A and B are shown apart, each in its own frame.
Chain A
Amino acid sequence: MSETKFIVRKAAVLGAGVMGAQIAAHLVDARVPTILFDLPAAQGEKNGIVSRAVAGLKRLQPSPLAGRDSADYIQAANYDEDLGRLAECDLVIEAIAERMDWKTQLYRKVAPHLGARAIFATNTSGLSIGKLAEACPQGLRPRFCGVHFFNPPRYMHLAEIIPCEASSPAVLDALERFLVTTLGKGVIRAKDTPNFVANRVGVFSMLATIANAEKYHVRFDVVDDLTGPRLGRAKSATFRTADVVGLDTFAHVVKTMQDTLPEDPWHGLFRCPPWLTRLIEAGSLGAKTKSGIYLKRGKDLQVLDPAGGGYVAAGAKADGSVTEILAIKDPAQKLARLRASDHSQAQFLWACFRDTFHYIACHLADIAHSARDVDLAMRWGFGWKLGPFEIWQAAGWAQVAGWIEEDIRAGKALAQVPLPAWAREAGRQGVHFPQGSYDAAGNALVGRSTLDVYRRQLWPATVIGEEKAALGETVYENPGVRAFTSGDGLLVASFKTKVHSISPEVLEGLNRAIDLAEERFKGLVIWQTEAPFSVGANLESLRPALAAGDWTTIDRIIALFQTTSQRLRYSQIPTVAATEGYVFGGGCEFALHCDRVVAALESYVGLVEAGVGLLPAGGGCKEFAMRAARQSKGDLLASLKDYYLMIATAKVATSGIEARELGFLGADDVLLFNPYELLYVAKQQALALAEAGYRPPLAGRRFPVAGRAGAASIKGQLINMLEGHFISEYDYEIGARIAEVVTGGDVEPGTEVDEQWILELERRHFLRLLKSPKTQERIAHTLATGKPLRN
């Protein structure tokens, strides 16, 4: 065991371009000290290129950096002076420009300096790993492989590992463990074929979309309207994605396919359309040059009209009859209707599906170890909700295969090559089965990776058709909550509501789960089967009572909210919240009250009630007042101020790391990078607390508050914002009420109160706000539009 244990004490990234710098950022966020190398600057400070790249990271949106000062831990280096420092690095990732000659030249330079056990990996999006390996000395080759991150690497889950022939299995396993747990990536082992799996299919899909758009005369903005969220794909859809990726980069990947895939039956498609070449020649490279397929003129968005060659006003929408088809839930019916429709946009969509299905069926054997890898690669690397094989299988394999064959025969498909025999064989139901997923090369079903790191994923990503083991045994279930156990002595509660909002049923269910955990279990974990953790209270469920003016009911619900939070803190068993995605409002309050939070990196935490004209009344204000008192060294208001502002401005921490920096998470709370490991780690934490002889904190603690003078000082700031037209009169009122709650009401500064005192203030001011027509307008507006209203 000790021989195979692989620790990354320090990493190096070679190449401070967009990818290299962002990979370095992700490494330091994961607390891996990282040296970032690039060429020495021709002028000025020698590490100027790297320093500028690191400075640039802070301007990128979405931010590649999760921690406030993470960038400071990226050490700048250059190839002239610092190669000696590579000896300290256990992992070296090369991420320079996609040029075989540059890469091999660099390998010769760095190889002598690499540590004897260091893993050397290239982040190429498509060059041959085998060829690159040839530039490595013999002794290094077992420790060499490809590792392909997707842009932006912090947010895209996928990382492809591509072995060369000499790659040692132990090295690949070690790297996979590191990528999965430390960096939180979803790993696919890809074959060493051009562009590997995700880009091979993803770029093909884009090229097919472009070709079909031309064929069916669909405008680019309409293509984007059709191929975005309506298909379960990213909002940037097709052409905007190309702009974001960079048209030059996109062209480069296409060129790689053109050069390296001469035998591919779709080879004729691997070329840049003339309009794309013209854009690149004109320096319109997409988002980075502020013009590309889309262009912003003043406030107006324009889109390229390939036929005319100029730009036209963007914003054209898909035809209603087509979007109606796309709204159909049943995939079989949806594809059938698209294919049968006379509308060019429907024909276009069917053609895109057909050509992609056709392509993946023909190439499955060469590029991937199983169909599951193709689907997960597209989900994790391109943000598709379902992978292409999954869509096909869900729509009825044989039926769709028949349609594809018909189209091939009719000359409608982009290539005339027939579907492979396995895809056409009689009785085939699909490619994903409970026993495994289809490997076309081996003509067998293959199971999931048995690598130990996946034992940490108790609820892994699965594909349609794959058997997902039932998650534990249900101990309790109501319409709001399912509580289950897996025989490890722990009870896990999951919300069943949409976006895991907190309805009265959730409150009731959670309380029941606490009862049961106290009776029969060692601890309670709150964990959701998918993100988000919770968007907070279900405002919709309050509406009937609100409309009827039934304040007694509303008051009762608030009281139950507060009781639930307090029970999470004071129950006889350790409570652990496992968070990912939105941790808002009441969800945040529950997390704040658990004994421990296990937060995925992408946890977005905030007490956002002020956004709808309310204030946190599930113990959030109380918790912040208490935390401020605990942290205060004399000036209570000083430590309260930041907490106050977070509530008043509905501040959201944009990562688990920031949540800790802002004080939503404490020093004992745990951060992890792979959300699929949440349940495992949360359980470990609950067990550790239980085994350490858990006792809840002693209730009844008193703590000082900032009092009426503290509230006055806060109002002093508010009045200036009001006079300066930065906030509305009603914002002022909300702000003033929040101030009164967190400072403990009309008492002198330093007065000691207890938790119940602040909870009572929360409840009272919450009700006052809720009764206000302005708050009701805000709630109605947010429920209707999803956006906040400033009134």
Chain B
Amino acid sequence: MTRQIQDAYIVAATRTPVGKAPRGMLRQVRPDDMLVHVLKSVLAQVPAIEPQLVNDVVVGCAFPEAEQGLNMARIGALLAGLPDTVPGITVNRYCSSGLNAVQIAADRIRLGEAQVVIAGGAESMSMVPMMGNKVALNPQVFAAQENYAIAYGMGITAEKVAGQCKVSREDQDAFALESHRRAVAARASGAFRAEISPIEITLRVPDLQAHEVRHSTRTLADDEGPRADTSPQALAKLQPVFDARGTVTAGNSSQTSDGAAAVMLVSEAILKRYDLTPLARYVTFAVRGVPPALMGIGPKVAVPAALEQAGLKQGQLKWIELNEAFAAQALAVIRDLDLDPSLVNPHGGAIALGHPLGATGAIRTATLVHGMRGRGESGYGMVTMCIGTGMGAAGILEVL
């Protein structure tokens, strides 16, 4: 089916810990600085690859403006010390941006037009809010009722999915609780260590009396989101946020977060020439559209599409990173596709780990690769997510 001329391999995948936005430790770390950090880290993990060999840097970002505007990929590459011969592109498909970055990087290699590409994602939701700094909707949206859903907030779409797919509040809360339980356990067991590049944060606090700026540094090594103290009672107490009569709460929705990730992909030729150990082989990617009002069900169509492209059966997937934008949509997808809950987000999902929008696809790629390898598993794994205004994406890797 595919007319690729060579395979693309992941030789390194790393990420920052994910910080809580807007009050976590990464709140004052610029997204382009987070990007610089993971770019340097991913290069350091493959010392054989000289920076000038990199053909392109592809970075996903959901709101590429302000601190993460101006083509963050190119700026990040230059600030990371890559030679100015290395170009950069920032790509956006909201929540799948980071996964699309991997896909674009892989496709360049598969087509034979690139040999080494770094893919990644970076998003500071502390600095650039959801919807961006300036919302300027097209008036046409309100010209016809069928387009109103373009203006729907994600929470409203989650409520609509919950309603249509009959996902109860209790089930959503139970799912959220399990996400935290898994994430807390994974964090405690050190399961994330292989994928996280701890980041040093410099705090600058003015001493108003001494007229001096006090510098101090702290290192963030773990994700801030998972809560060991979450309980069914605490979750049940939360009020719905998006719909006065609804079921979606802050507790069963993904967290707003800051974070970045970088994944190095190379061709088979490069693997051989530099004697590199591949972590995974890129298999395929699919993206599909669904009604904007039900954006959360996107994976329902994207997942079968990707499997079909790869000629795989769902049962062959050993690990599924299904982005938990909302428990409501995650459960709707799991039930409808009959996914094995034990294989979905074994280390917890965005409800516990956070969801720095455009970075998430790249972050969860790192989780998939290192998660499976950490358990000594090999075989097919998937990263999938729903996407704002009604889309779903799914990428398949073969972890080696």
Contact = CB atoms under 8 A, between A and B. Distances in A.
Interface of A: 635, 637-638, 708-713, 715-716, 719-720, 723-726, 749
B205 interface: no
Nearest to A638: B134
Given A719-B151, A723-B156, A708 B139 contact: yes
27 contacts: A635-B134, A637-B134, A637-B136, A708-B139, A709-B137, A709-B138, A710-B136, A712-B139, A713-B136, A715-B137, A715-B151, A716-B137, A719-B142, A719-B152, A720-B152, A720-B153, A720-B242, A723-B152, A723-B159, A724-B155, A724-B242, A724-B244, A724-B246, A725-B244, A725-B245, A726-B244, A749-B136
A711 B139 CA distance: 8
A708 B148 CA distance: 16
Given A715-B151, A716-B141, A723 B243 contact: yes
Contacts of B246: 724-725
Interface string B125-154: 000000001111111011000001001110
A708 B140 CA distance: 10
Contacts of A749: 136
Nearest to A723: B156
A719 B152 CA distance: 7
A712 B148 CA distance: 10
Contacts of A638: 134
Contacts of B134: 635, 637-638
Given A720-B151, A720-B152, A725 B243 contact: yes
Interface in B242-278: 242-246
Interface in B155-175: 155-156, 159-160
A715 B135 CA distance: 11
B156 A720 contact: yes
Contacts of B139: 708-709, 711-712
Nearest to B243: A724
Contacts of B148: 719
A724 B136 contact: no
B243 A712 contact: no
A236 to B, nearest CB: 31
Contacts of B137: 709, 712-713, 715-716
Contacts of B155: 720, 724
Nearest to B140: A712
Contact of B151 (A709, A710, A711, A716): A716
Contacts, number: 59
Given A723-B243, A724-B159, A724-B246, A712 B142 contact: yes
- Which of A709, A711, A723, A749 has the largest count of B CB atoms less than 10 A from its CB? A723
Contact of B138 (A637, A712, A719, A723): A712
Contacts of B142: 712, 715, 719
Nearest to A708: B139
Nearest to B148: A719
Contacts of B141: 712, 715-716
A710 B137 CA distance: 8
A496 B15 CA distance: 71
What are the 6 closest A-B residue pairs judged by CB atoms, nearest first?
A716-B151, A724-B243, A712-B139, A712-B137, A708-B139, A725-B244
Nearest to A709: B136
B140 to A, nearest CB: 8
Contacts of A709: 136-139
A716 B151 CA distance: 5
A3 to B, nearest CB: 36
Given A638-B134, A724-B156, A749-B136, 16 more contacts: A637-B136, A709-B137, A709-B138, A712-B136, A712-B142, A715-B151, A716-B135, A716-B141, A719-B148, A720-B152, A723-B159, A724-B242, A724-B243, A724-B244, A725-B244, A726-B243
Contacts of B159: 723-724
Contacts of A710: 136
Contacts of A726: 243-244
- Which of A713, A724, A725, A749 has the largest count of B CB atoms less than 10 A from its CB? A724
A711 B151 CA distance: 13
Contacts of B152: 719-720, 723
Contacts of A711: 139
Nearest to B154: A720
A691 B237 CA distance: 62
A711 B136 CA distance: 9
A705 B153 CA distance: 25
B390 to A, nearest CB: 15
A709 B153 CA distance: 18
Contacts of B243: 723-726
Contacts of B244: 724-726
Nearest to A634: B134
B159 to A, nearest CB: 7
Contacts of A725: 243-246
A331 to B, nearest CB: 50
A105 to B, nearest CB: 34
Contacts of A712: 136-139, 141-142
A638 B66 CA distance: 15
A724 B246 CA distance: 8
A724 B243 CA distance: 4
A647 B205 CA distance: 39
Interface string B204-247: 00000000000000000000000000000000000000111110
B148 to A, nearest CB: 5
Nearest to B143: A712
A692 to B, nearest CB: 39
Given A724-B242, A725-B243, A713 B135 contact: yes
Nearest to A748: B139
A513 to B, nearest CB: 44
Interface in B98-145: 133-139, 141-142
A715 B141 CA distance: 10
A726 B153 CA distance: 14
B47 to A, nearest CB: 46
A576 B243 CA distance: 45
A720 B153 CA distance: 6
Nearest to B138: A712
A172 B246 CA distance: 61
Contacts of B242: 720, 724
Nearest to A711: B139
A723 B152 CA distance: 8
A638 B138 CA distance: 16
Contacts of A637: 134-136
B66 to A, nearest CB: 12
A712 B136 CA distance: 7
Contacts of A713: 135-137
A716 B159 CA distance: 17
B240 to A, nearest CB: 8
Nearest to A749: B136
- Which of A638, A709, A719 has the largest count of B CB atoms less than 10 A from its CB? A719
A631 to B, nearest CB: 16
- Which of B139, B159, B245 has the largest count of A CB atoms less than 10 A from its CB? B139
Contacts of B136: 637, 709-710, 712-713, 749
A637 B152 CA distance: 19
B20 to A, nearest CB: 23
A708 B243 CA distance: 27
Contacts of A635: 133-134
Contacts of A708: 139
A649 B245 CA distance: 20
A635 B65 CA distance: 14
A637 B132 CA distance: 13
A714 to B, nearest CB: 9
Interface string B32-46: 000000000000000
A287 to B, nearest CB: 25
B392 to A, nearest CB: 21
Nearest to B248: A724
A710 B142 CA distance: 12
A204 to B, nearest CB: 48
A749 B134 CA distance: 13
A715 B143 CA distance: 11
